[in-house]
Amino acid sequence: MNSAATHAQQYDRYKRLVDKALDGLVKEQVPRSLYEPLRYVLDAGGKRIRPVVLLLSCEAAGGDATNALHAGVAIEILHNFTLVHDDIMDNAGSRRGRKTVHTRWDTNVAILVGDELLAMAYRALLKTKSPQIQEIAKIFTEGVVEVCEGQAYDKEFETRSAVSVNEYLLMIEKKTAKMVAVSAEIGGLVGNGDRPAIKALRRYGEHVGRAFQIQDDLLDVVADEKELGKAVGGDLVEGKKTFLLLEALRTAGGRDKKLLKDIVRNKGGKADLIPEYRRIYFETGAIASARRRIGQDIARAKRELHRLPVSRAQAMLGWFADMLLNRTY
């Protein structure tokens, strides 16, 4: 078996470890109006990217991944908290192929479920046995603050006619990349890594998290619909100010620029024009620019790993970065 297949198996093992810890986490039955939707959220599955990064970072720093499981569960619960509230703000009808909480129940229930998830995340985190638990809690809390700031920027961009690429990058650094960085940094702390190792892990997470979001933007335009599991061009139809749209607006001219500006002005594009928008993205170099940035971030993330001792976990973090670079959905 080659190393990539071995790493993939190990990833699945860690993912199942997190899934098992989440299963049965909610033992309370009443009030049913709270705990039924709460279980619904936690049973929805997911890639478990953040907790797996946390467990691997713990190992890469020289620790035992099982000691970081409570922290990994906490980071996944926190991620689900952000999704529930994000769905309310976006009025999203579905998530992971199922109805969102506010759609299946109502907005009040969804707000309360999100609040409970945040509390549960802290409860899980504080079970972590580490002499650095105070520092861990501080980093976790700073992550919550920055995610909220990132979401605020994202909502603010919806009402602005002009947003720069640099502003967009700041938004995704806070909303997406920060929690991957927090996962890696907390893993390093639980693993009792030294300061240079923890700093390298944090930077690794920052680069991987940013690349992950830009790759999401890219896949929305270039992915195969069957692999993606949804229609391509959804961000265009919804009028989301993605890296691709902002980069294309910066360099397009004439009729092409007008078409892109119409997306912003009308708060959404036309589904039948998706092939035309895609052509503009290619011809303006927006697609190439996105791929270049993703590649640069992944390369920088892997350079940070060179600061860590050679180990299976260090190699797996490198494989994980490459997997994100090459993913097709």
Spans of all domains in the chain: 3-326
> Taking the model in full, what pTM does it have?
0.95
Q: So what's the pLDDT on residue 230?
A: 67
The phi, psi pair for 99, rounded to 5°, reads -60, 140
Q: Does residue 163 contact residue 135 with C-beta atoms inside 8 Å?
A: no
Per-residue model confidence as pLDDT tens digits over 229-270: 667 899 999 999 999 999 999 999 999 999 999 999 999 999
Q: So what's the pLDDT on residue 146?
A: 98
Q: So what's the pLDDT on residue 237?
A: 94
Residue 317 tokens read as: 């973090």
Does position 4 have pLDDT exceeding 80, yes or no?
A: yes
Residue 135: strand, helix, or coil: helix
For 92, counting Cβ atoms within 10 Å of its Cβ (0-12 exposed, 13-18 middle, 19+ buried), the class is: middle
Mean pLDDT of 206-228: 90
For 25, counting Cβ atoms within 10 Å of its Cβ (0-12 exposed, 13-18 middle, 19+ buried), the class is: middle
The phi, psi pair for 286, rounded to 5°, reads -65, -40
Q: So what's the pLDDT on residue 229?
A: 63
Q: How far is CA 12 from the centre of its chain?
A: 18
Residue 156 tokens read as: 């603010």
CA distance 205 to 169: 15
Average predicted confidence (pLDDT) for the chain = 95
Identify the band that residue 228 occupies on the pLDDT scale cut at 50, 70 and 90.
low
Mean pLDDT of 70-99: 94
Q: Does residue 316 contact residue 56 with C-beta atoms inside 8 Å?
A: yes
Q: So what's the pLDDT on residue 14?
A: 96
Does position 105 have pLDDT exceeding 80, yes or no?
A: yes
Q: So what's the pLDDT on residue 248?
A: 98
Residue 95: strand, helix, or coil: strand
The CATH classification of domain 3-326, taken from the options 3.90.79.10, 3.40.640.10, 3.30.1360.80, 1.10.600.10: 1.10.600.10
Q: So what's the pLDDT on residue 29?
A: 87
Per-residue model confidence as pLDDT tens digits over 36-46: 999 999 999 89
